[in-house]
Amino acid sequence: MRSWMPFEWIAALRFLGEGRMQTAFIIVGASIGVAVVVFMSAILTGMQANIIRRSLLSQPHIMIQPAEEVARPLRDLKGEAAIVQKRTQRLISIDQWQRHMEIIRAIPGVDVVTPTVSGAAFALRGDANRSVTLTGIEPGEYSRIVPLPDKVVAGTWRLTTTDVLIGTELALDLGAAVGDKMRIATPNGTSLTLIISGIFDLGNKGVNERQVYVLLRTAQDLLNLVGGASNLNVTVKDIWAAEDISQKINAAVGLEADSWIRTNSQLFLALNAQTISNTSLRIAVAACVALGIASVLVVSVVQKSREIGILRAMGASRRQVMNVFLIQGGIVGLVGSFFGTSIAAACLHMWMSLLKNPDGTPLFLLTWDPGLAVWAAVLATLTGVGAAVTPARRAARLDPVVAIRG
Amino acid sequence: MLEGVCKSYPGAGGAEVEVLHGIDFVLGQGEFVALMGPSGSGKSTLLNLVGLLDRPSAGRIRVAGNETTTLDEAGLTRLRGRSIGFVFQYHYLVPAFTAIENVMMPMLLARGRPDAPMRERAAKLLEQVGLTAWSDSKVNLLSGGQQQRVAIARALAMNPALILADEPTGNLDTKSADSVFNVMREANRSQGTAVFFVTHNPQLAARCDRIVELVDGLIVARER
C-alpha cells in the first residue's frame, strides 16, 4: 500500500487487479476504440491538409481585385432615360495599389502581399498558338505564395525582362524547350518575343496548359497597364482565418477581396461534410467504448456488493465508494488511450510505408501530432469516468445491510 | 442504550410487519453480553440497528454517548466508523487486500491515506490475535478461524467503544471457535471494549458477563 495514495485509488487499483481477465478485456476494448478514433482523426487531418495544400499550391489565400465597373444610368424626371446595359469589365489597375499593400500588410494574420498583373494573351510559336493567362509577378515575393522554384522541372527559376516561364503542357503544345523563343501577343496589339527560361509542373493539367509567368514590368507593358497592378495576392498565417481576414481587408481598403474559402466553396463544403461524418463516427465509437466500460463496471458492482457493504459498515462514505468506481473507469480509459494511441501510431506507420505514390513518395503526408495523443488520453479518461457514473452511483446507493446479507 | 426501539418492514400487501417490539436495553461500558434467540427472532435486525446500519421505526438509540436519532446519513457513517467494530459470521474480509491491509481498513477509511502509525497499530493487533506470520498474506489463503481472527483485529482497529459480533463462531470448529472467543474476551478485558455477541452456543454464552434472550422481537430473559 503506497502511503501517498488515497484510499479510493488504492481500492480502485486493487479491484481492477483482482479481476484481471475482466480488466484486460475492457482495456483491450477501450484500446481498440481509441485506436480507431486516433487513426481516423490522423488520416482525416492528413487527407484534408493534403487536399488543401494541393488546392492552394497554385493560388493565393486571398485575391484582391479592383472594384467591379458598373454602368451609371442616366435619369430624367420621368425615370430612366435609356436601357442600361451591364458594363464590360476592362483590365484595369487597382487604384493606389502600393498604398493599399502597406495597409493590408499591417492587418494581423497577413503573411505576404504581392502585386500581379494578369490578363489574357496568346502564346505563339511557329504555326502553333494557344490562348494563355499571362501573369506578371515579382519573383521573390510571389514565390512565397506559389512555390514556383520548387515546381520548375526543366531550366531554371529565373525571370528577367526577356524571360518567360511556361507549364509542361503548354511546352508540349508549342513543341518548345528551355532556351527556345516564343512570342506573347495580347488583344490590344502588343507583342513581345521572350526566351523560355524554365518549364514548371504545378500538378494541374489546366494550370500547366494555360499559365504563363513573366516579370511584373513585362506584363505591365504587354497588357498596357504601365505602373499598375490588376491584383494583389495575399497569403495568411492561418488558412482557416482567410475569410475573416478578407473581410477585414475589404473593410480597410474598400476593395473586393476573395478568400480561398469563398472561391473554393464546394471544396470547403465537402471538407466540412467529411469532418461532420467523421465526427459522428468517432462519437459512435466513443459511445461503444463507454457502454463497454459501463457494462463491465456494473457487473463489478454486483460482484463486489458484499465488499462494498463491509466497507460501508466500516465507515466508508457514499462519496468514497462512488470515487472507487469512478477512478476505475478513468484508469481503464487512460490505460486504453495509451495502448490505443500506440496501436494507432503503428497503423499510421504501416499506412505510410505500404501505401505509396508511383514515384515512391507517401500517398499523402501524415504528420503525427503529439497533441492528438494528449487529447485522446484526456477524452478517453473522461469517457471512462463518464461511463462509470451510473455503476458508481449504484454502488454508492447500496444499502450495507442488504449488501452484507447478499 | 436502546429505548423503546421498534422496527417494521413492509410486508406482503403493503401492510407493515413489526420485527422488534419496543426493545429497552442498556449495554454498559466494557460489558460482554451474549444475545441468544431462535432464528427469525430479530437478532440480526437488532444488531443492524445498534450498528447504525439501519434506522429504527420508533424509539431511540444512543451509541457511545451520542444520540443517533437526529444524525443524518453522513453523521451515522462517521459515528459507526469511529465507535463500532463489526465481526460477521462469514468474516467478510476484502479479498483484494492482505491481512494487515484489511486490519488497517477502518483507519484508512477514516484518515484517507495509509501511514506508518496505522501499519504499526495493525501489526500489533495481528500480533494480539496470533497472526503476525500471516500479515502479508492474501486473506483467502487463510483458514476460516484465521480469517475470523483477522476480522476481530479489524474490528478493534479504531479502538471502538463497541464490537458487534454476529455469530462469529457459527461456522468454526470447536477449537477455532474457542480461540476466536478468547481473542474477543481478551480484547474486551484489556481495552474495555463492550461486546454484543450473538451466538447459538450455550457454552460460549455462559462465559459472557450477561445473556440476553430475544424471542419474537421481544427480550424475554436477562441472565447474569
Last residue of a domain, one of A209, A228, A254: A254
The answer to whether A337 touches A34, Cβ cutoff 8 Å, is: yes
- From CA A307, how far away is CA B20, in angstroms rounded? 28
- The reply to whether A178 and A48 lie within a common domain is no
CA separation for the pair A204, A165 (Å, rounded): 16
HSE (CB half, 13 Å, CA atoms) of A221? 10
pLDDT at A323: 93
Determine contact: A325 vs chain B, CB below 8 A. Answer: no
Whether A401 and A300 share a structural domain = yes
Q: State the pLDDT at residue B183.
A: 83
Is A298 found in the same domain as A238? no
**In this complex, which of A15, A312, A315 lies closest to B110 when CB atoms are compared?**
A315
Count of C-beta atoms within a 10 Å radius of residue B73: 10
Complex confidence, ipTM: 0.81
- Rounded CA gap, A216 and A214, in Å? 6
Q: Is A36 exposed, middle or buried (0-12, 13-18, 19+ CB in 10 A)?
A: buried
List, for residues A278-335, the tens digit of each pLDDT value: 888 888 888 888 888 888 888 888 888 888 888 888 888 889 999 999 999 999 999 9
Q: Are residues A92 and A33 in the same domain?
A: no
Q: Do B106 and A315 touch (CB under 8 A)?
A: yes
Measured between CB atoms, which of B80, B88, B96 is closest to A14? Answer: B96
Of A3, A17, A313, the CB nearest to B115: A3
Check whether residue A243 and residue A294 sit in a common domain.
Answer: no
**Cα of A404 to nearest chain B Cα, Å:** 8
Per-residue pLDDT band at A214 (split at 50, 70, 90): very high
Tell me if B103 sits within 8 A of B76, measured CB to CB.
no
Binning pLDDT at 50, 70 and 90, where does residue A2 land? low
Q: Do B105 and A311 touch (CB under 8 A)?
A: yes
Domain that holds residue A310: 7-54+268-405
CA distance A16 to B96: 9
Last residue of a domain, one of A221, A254, A287: A254
Cα of B45 to nearest chain A Cα, Å:
9
CA A218 to CA A160: how far, in whole Å?
9
pLDDT exceeds cutoff 70 at A74: no
Which grid coordinates are listed for B117?
502509525
Considering the domain boundaries, does residue A91 fall inside one?
Answer: yes
Q: What is the mean pLDDT of residues B188-209?
A: 89
Quick one: A355 and A322 in the same domain? yes
Q: How far is CA A137 from CA A37, A93, A199, A230, in A?
A: 45, 14, 16, 11
Q: What is the mean pLDDT of chain A?
A: 86
CB-nearest to A315 from B96, B109, B115 is B109
Average of per-residue pLDDT across B50-61: 90
Which of the residues B9, B104, B108 would you substitute to probe the A interface, choosing the one with the greatest number of A C-beta atoms within 10 Å? B108
Instruction: Determine, yes or no, domain membership for A341.
Output: yes
| Residue B189 to chain A, least CA–CA distance (Å) | 23
Of B92 and A161, the one with more pLDDT: A161
Length of chain A, please? 406
Average pLDDT over residues A239-247: 90
- All domains of chain B, ordered by start, with CATH? 31-56+73-223 (3.40.50.300)
| pLDDT at residue A327 in the model | 94
Q: How many whole angstroms separate alpha carbon A309 and alpha carbon A312?
A: 5
Tell me: pLDDT of B164 over 80.
yes
Residue range A162-209, pLDDT digits in tens: 999 999 999 999 999 999 999 999 988 899 999 999 999 988 888 899
Structural domain total, chain A: 2
Per residue, the 3-state secondary structure of chain A, as one string, reads CCCCCCHHHHHHHHHHHHCHHHHHHHHHHHHHHHHHHHHHHHHHHHHHHHHHHHHCCCCCCEEEECCCCCCCCCEECCEECCCCCCCCCCCCCCCCHHHHHHHHHCCCCEEEEEEEEEEEEEEEECCEEEEEEEEEECHHHHCCCCCHHHHEEEECCCCCCCEEEEEHHHHHHHCCCCCCEEEEECCCCCEEEEEEEEEECCCCHHHHHHEEEEEHHHHHHHCCCCCCCCEEEEEECCHHHHHHHHHHHHHHHCCEEEEHHHHCHHHHHHHHHHHHHHHHHHHHHHHHHHHHHHHHHHHHHHHCHHHHHHHHHCCCCHHHHHHHHHHHHHHHHHHHHHHHHHHHHHHHHHHHHHCECCCCCECCCCCCCHHHHHHHHHHHHHHHHHHHHHHHHHHHCCCHHHHHHC
Domain boundary among A204, A227, A254: A254
Same domain, yes or no: A122 and A235: yes
Same domain? A187 vs A316: no
Cβ contact A314–B81 (<8 Å): yes
Q: Name the nearest CA neighbour of A402 among B106, B170, B45, B38.
A: B45
Nearest-neighbour CA in chain A from B217: distance (Å) = 18
Residues A304 and A349 both lie in one domain:
yes
